[in-house]
Structure 1
Amino acid sequence: MTQPLDFHSFRHGQFDITVLSDGPITLGGEIFAPEGNPDERAEIVVRLEGADNTAAAQSNIPLIVTGNEMIIVDVGAGNRFQPSEGRLEANLDAIGVKAHDVTTVIISHAHPDHMWGITRDDGTLRFANARYYVGRTEWEFWMGEAADALPEVLQPFVAGARRELSAIADRVKLVEDCDEIVPGLKVLATPGHTPGHISLVLNGDVPLIITVDATASDIVSFEHPDWSFGFDMDPGRARETRRVLLDRAVADNAKLLGYHWTYPGVGRATKNGETYQFHGAVRSAS
């Protein structure tokens, strides 16, 4: 599945937002729904337009424009995680934005599909004129001794995180819950998927919450909120965070934007007993 060029754009308060992509990644049913049985996984894969126990997970990367600020949230993996990725810069070009135009890059967490695209293959910064923002807890985890204790299978994640974070060490600002990055855009701590995962809240008539991987699936995270996502590093804490986040979204009638959700990944949540339902927005083209 390729990302179309008629990108979804919308206005939210003072922000103009276009949902771009670095390209989808392919995941197995056991990643989307580790606690699901084979029949439940098969149904989820079909609903995600997949087959043979695999489906695409999108990478919905918002470009946020306000005043003179041009902000992106996460940068994808470049071409370093799966071969279907590496399209963000070309997609920016398609809407007339050059990498050097980006003023601010916010990294939600240090998993490959969200931040391995910080540098180019030659080691230079892709967004050379940008300021970078990373959660303090996230930075300290991946750059500290705690990450060395992760299982051997995850050590490539550690090496990649350290490579990319080291490249921005002289221009990064570490942020915490409720910090304001630009007027009207604040950090929301949503730990569990990773130790210092952050989401973002944008002011408007209602809030817009960019959930990233705190709610990793527009199906599973809503309909089975107590199930984990295969890459959750602390499933118990991720579960608690997910319910708090979704309850807040319902109470505030917030607009939501999710990273791996079916493109464009924008909509709202309602509550149905102990579960939730995602209602996708009507898509518009830029």
Structure 2
Amino acid sequence: MQINRRTLLKSGTAALGATALPGWAHAQMTLGNVQIDTLSDGNLVLPREFQFGDLPQDEVTEILARYGITGDEMTPDCNVTLMRDGTNTVLFDVGAGPNFMPSAGTLWEALDELGVYPEDVTHVVFTHAHPDHLWGLLDDFDDLVFPEAQYMIGRAERDYWLDPATPDTIGEARLAFAAGAIRYLGAIEDRLTTFEDGEEILPGIAARATFGHTPGHMAFELRGGSESVMVLGDCIGNAHVAFERPGWVSGSDQDQEMGAATRVALLDQLANDQMPFIGFHMPYPGIGRAEKSGDSYRFVAA
């Protein structure tokens, strides 16, 4: 496997001159004849308690301090994966777009600098339907950003977000997530197809059920020749607490116990197989491996 890193920083103004765009970056790896790029969609700004509020705070503080993280604010990176095999140009998630957080939504500029036009994207595959993965689907005029693409999502994920009961049961803190999912998934209803766990959804792309963060969250194993890499989405949500204490629950997971069980099993597999992965919220560019030490793990950046 060859990994080449190229970092480009671009500054400018957002649509209508609202805010300055954060820097974006691009990293590249190859699997045989398959080219994979990770593109920065910026970062989120979240209160620490969103992920870690129900955990032993002294231990959380100690872990975060080892990674240079202090204070009550978290700023996780957002890394979108692009795969090109000579036939298909596939995006895994579409970022946050212009309407979620001002610190996110830079994917479109990153693609432009890479020389990939929206019309070039043949498929968009969603890990799940949270705003920072879905809301980049539409522009400021509610037009599809990727007009030629086919859209794909796990059946359980689609069914959950389009269930009329979901807004009444998801809880007030995530009510906007439900409303957004209805809006954005509704915009592609006539071109949205679903798949199941274990299915090869496109040549060289296999779906892997990683439920818990959302009810139908999917990861994807990308294969080129004899090599493979896992696109994780948010089933492993950070490079510190999730690795050192994988069995702890995370407040960002909708089903916290299931999310923890998924994380423990997946980290064990990734470490044992030494399979590289791309984490949506890992430190940019999100590419690395898991190294096991006792009951804990360590994120080893590529």
TM-score by length of 1: 0.92
Q: Give aligned pairs, total.
A: 280
Matched, 1:28 2:23: no
User: What is the alpha-carbon distance in structure 1 between the residues aligned to residue 42 and residue 66 of structure 2?
Assistant: 19
Structure showing greater relative contact order (alpha-carbon pairs closer than 8 Å, 6 or more residues apart): 1
Matched, 1:225 2:238: no
User: What is the alpha-carbon distance in structure 1 between the residues aligned to residue 166 and residue 173 of structure 2?
Assistant: 12
**Residue matched to 2:6:** none
Which of 193, 197, 217 is equivalent to 1:173? Answer: 193
Which of 57, 63, 71 is equivalent to 1:52? Answer: 71
Gaps of at least 5 residues in structure 2 are 1-20
Contact 1:29 1:41 in 2 (8 A): no
Q: Give the drift of 1:51.
A: 4.3
Q: Give the drift of 1:52.
A: 2.6
Which of 257, 265, 286 is equivalent to 2:278? Answer: 257
User: What is the alpha-carbon distance in structure 2 between the residues aligned to residue 14 and residue 255 of structure 1?
Assistant: 17
Q: Secondary structure at the match of 1:127?
A: coil
**Residue matched to 1:266:** 287
1:177-232 CA-partner distances (Å, limit 9, x unpaired): 11112211111110000000000001243431111111001112111101233220
Question: Aligned letter for 1:104?
Answer: H
Change (3 A) 1:144 1:213: same
Gaps of at least 5 residues in structure 1 are 282-286
Q: Secondary structure at the match of 2:109?
A: helix
Contact 1:202 1:208 in 2 (8 A): yes
User: What is the alpha-carbon distance in structure 1 between the residues aligned to residue 270 and residue 237 of structure 2?
Assistant: 15
User: What is the alpha-carbon distance in structure 1 between the residues aligned to residue 116 and residue 76 of structure 2?
Assistant: 25
- Structure 1 range deviating more: 160-169 or 35-44: 35-44
**Residue matched to 2:14:** none
Question: Aligned letter for 1:117?
Answer: G
**Residue matched to 1:284:** none
User: What is the alpha-carbon distance in structure 1 between the residues aligned to residue 243 and residue 180 of structure 2?
Assistant: 31
Which of 87, 101, 115 is equivalent to 1:82? Answer: 101
**Residue matched to 1:111:** 130
Q: Secondary structure at the match of 1:153?
A: helix
1:89-168 matches, within 5 Å, as 89-148=108-167, 149-168=169-188
User: What is the alpha-carbon distance in structure 1 between the residues aligned to residue 252 and residue 32 of structure 2?
Assistant: 33
Q: Secondary structure at the match of 2:110?
A: helix
Question: Aligned letter for 1:155?
Answer: L
Change (3 A) 1:140 1:4: closer
Contact 1:29 1:42 in 2 (8 A): no
Question: Aligned letter for 2:180?
Answer: G
